[in-house]
Amino acid sequence: MAIIETKDLTYTYPGATTPSIQDVSVTINKGDFVILTGPSGCGKTTLCRTFNGLVPHFYNGTLEGEITVSGLKVADHKIHELARHVGLVFQNPENQLFALSVEKDVAFGLENSAMPRDEMRKRVDWALQMAGISELSERPPHELSGGQQQRVAIASVLSMQPDIMVLDEPTSFLDPVGAEKIFKVINELNKKLGITIILVEHRLDLAAKYANKVIVMNEGTVALTGTPREIFTSEKARLIGVGIPKATKLYQHLKRQGVTLKTVPVTTEETANLLLEMLNHD
């Protein structure tokens, strides 16, 4: 079932001469884990902003075409209405946390929606637990590490129990271990709670294993859609400049030399298993 559907979506920022996204038609199904990737400036972030109405309501400009999110037409609904269905997590953790304690930040959206205090307390504690930061609840966010801050940002969106969570390069400031923890949390939200995930990411080597769908954008349009396997072996994706994981690259190099593994691997585990199988078999 489609939870996000866009049809010939075109948007131009106020004052800009060319549209940032052009004729974008995508369908994202409930429960999908989608990676949205493409070179800098390809319109990924703009597309994400249309999902909760920041575009066009916050940025103004001209939006053409159609977009429906959780059954709501974005053009007809305010950002705060859409915010109940779509949570956005941004790249820089520092600029999305406003409160002086973690739990207060997690409660922010609920306070805005005028939720009664008792119910709010339950929701906050639940969101903190899901993000694995219950023990940080009273700490000031600015004293936490980048990875912890980003988990606070996730919890603060999660507390509103959205159907969809959109994360715009949430790990780019984090070290690999911090990034891995974020991906694991996101994956749990997807698999356990069935939240639809849209993850904007350049580092496909770390994120690919969780996703069932990859959308590649280029110069404001959708260039490719497919499973990670399809995308990573696509010549077009390589030409656009999608970073193919080394695990898949090794497969391609071997293939060029006449050694073909049984399937296309996406993760190191898969590559290692395929290699072990082949080498032990001969």
Q: Which stretch binds another protein (CB under 8 A): 17-25, 27-35, 82-90, 219-227?
A: 82-90
Residue 28 gets which letter from DSSP? E
Instruction: Give the number of other Cβ atoms within 10 Å of residue 257's Cβ.
Output: 7
Q: Cα(132)–Cα(128) distance, rounded to whole angstroms?
A: 6
Contact indicator for 15, 26 with CB cutoff of 8 Å: no
Q: Which of 99, 187, 227, 229 binds another protein (CB under 8 A)?
A: 99
Q: Which stretch binds another protein (CB under 8 A): 14-22, 211-219, 224-232, 272-280?
A: 272-280
Residue 264: closest CA among 278, 277, 250: 250
Query: Containing H/E element for 87?
Result: strand 86-89
Q: Which of 18, 95, 235, 262 binds another protein (CB under 8 A)?
A: 95
**Is residue 7 a contact point for another protein (CB under 8 A)?**
no
Shortest reach from residue 239's CB to another protein, in Å: 10
How far is the CA of 159 from the CAs of 53, 60, 85, 146, 198, in angstroms?
19, 28, 11, 20, 18
How many residues touch another protein under the rule CB under 8 A: the total is: 84
How far is the CA of 23 from the CAs of 64, 159, 225, 227, 268, in angstroms?
9, 34, 15, 22, 36
Return the residues of window 117-136 that contact another protein according to CB under 8 A.
117, 120-121, 124
- Looking at beta carbons only, is 72 or 99 nearer to another protein? 99
Distance of CA 196 to the CA centre of its chain: 9
- Looking at beta carbons only, is 3 or 247 nearer to another protein? 247
Return the residues of window 190-249 that contact another protein according to CB under 8 A.
202, 205, 241-243, 245-247, 249
**Is residue 83 a contact point for another protein (CB under 8 A)?**
yes
Return the residues of window 131-190 that contact another protein according to CB under 8 A.
138-142, 145-147, 156-157, 160, 169, 172-178, 180
Contact indicator for 250, 272 with CB cutoff of 8 Å: no
- Looking at beta carbons only, is 172 or 212 nearer to another protein? 172
**Is residue 79 a contact point for another protein (CB under 8 A)?**
yes
Binding letters toward another protein, positions 251-270, x by CB under 8 A: --xx--x-x--------xx-
**Is residue 65 a contact point for another protein (CB under 8 A)?**
no
Please list, in sequence order, all residues whose beta carbon lies within 8 angstroms of the beta carbon of residue 204, skipping any fewer than 6 positions away. 35, 37, 214, 228, 232, 242, 243, 244, 245
